[in-house]
Structure 1
């Protein structure tokens, strides 16, 4: 058994609600060990021997059964998360303004043309890079004012969920990654 990081898309934002205590209880009922949540924004860390694809399927089915919610889940291993942390294309920006660097972890890869489309929407110094199955964003003026963030939908990008650099590092700490 090893840690698994589970990210839920849109959890406790946009009207999708599941109390974190109930989320941990659901994970325990599924046989997942030591479920821990980070914040109230769809971050769950468990111990499991299941493959990531199988765990994604099981978690999504449990979310629908337990809460009546169709929520996309992205599951990553500690090694995958370590690669994500190491790949950050905006390290200086992340050190100075960690809440303004966002890693969008994609469920089934980045949709063809998404990177170019995001770059066309960028304004005010915004940058976007694609590394493996992650879209990386630098929002110098914050997400709320971003031309990319206002118009980039799953239809354009593919299904994913974003976490700012602060959250990325906290999840790394939760699975015992050293930086």
Structure 2
């Protein structure tokens, strides 16, 4: 089965991985057709098993081979296609960033989606399929927004990762 593996905090938060090394490590661990997209921890691979077993194994490979506390979100390519197709807003990407926040536990995105104090002129959220939270924010306001600040908290480090809709479309291409 084809899986999408989204690594949290790679090449943006202090953890530096060379994508060719990442591909080699996952191939050596028995995964097939390993491809990376961009340099921010987006991996496509083929494996037997389910999302939970791939997640557990990939995290173990990353910890062993690269020596960091690795957390990933794993979903099938079909599920990613469902998420992208369900994005609820038409977005002018020159004005607003369209994001999807992924969760490995479902609780995290539910909490982020229930945050109070969102300024609708700046950001908006909507729940999506497969434990995701759709989030759209004015360009330049991502880190200072309510959701941006909350999602950066340590409580969400091991369970969430965020991707721009454009990156997700590239993963499906």
How many residues are aligned here? 168
Match of 1:159 in 2: 159
Deviation at 1:141, TM superposition (A): 2.9
Partner of 2:15: 16
Aligned residue in 2 for 1:134: 132
Q: Distance in 2 between matches of 1:29 and 1:139?
A: 39
Shift of 1:78: 1.6
Mark the CA change 1:25 to 1:113 in structure 2 (over 3 Å): closer, same or farther.
closer
TM-score normalized with structure 1 length = 0.85
Cα RMSD after superposing both structures: 2.1
Q: Which runs of 5+ in 2 are unaligned?
A: none
Residue aligning to 1:168:
168
Q: Where is the helix percentage greater, Structure 1 or Structure 2?
A: 1
The separation in 2 between residues aligned to 1:107 and 1:168, in whole angstroms, is 17
SS of structure 2 residue aligned to 1:171: helix
The offset of 1:29, in angstroms, is 0.3
Question: Alpha-carbon deviations, 1:3-50, whole Å to 9, x = none?
Answer: 111000111111011110110001110111111101110101111122
Gaps of 5+ in 1: 174-179
Cα distance in 2 for partners of 1:158, 1:109 equals 12
Give distance in 1, aligned partners of 2:51 and 2:35.
17
Instruction: Give the CA deviation at 1:125.
Output: 2.9
Query: Aligned partners of 1:165, 1:121: CA distance in 2, in Å?
Result: 21
Superposed CA offset, 1:71-93 (max 9, x none): 11111112211110121112x11
TM-score (norm 2): 0.88
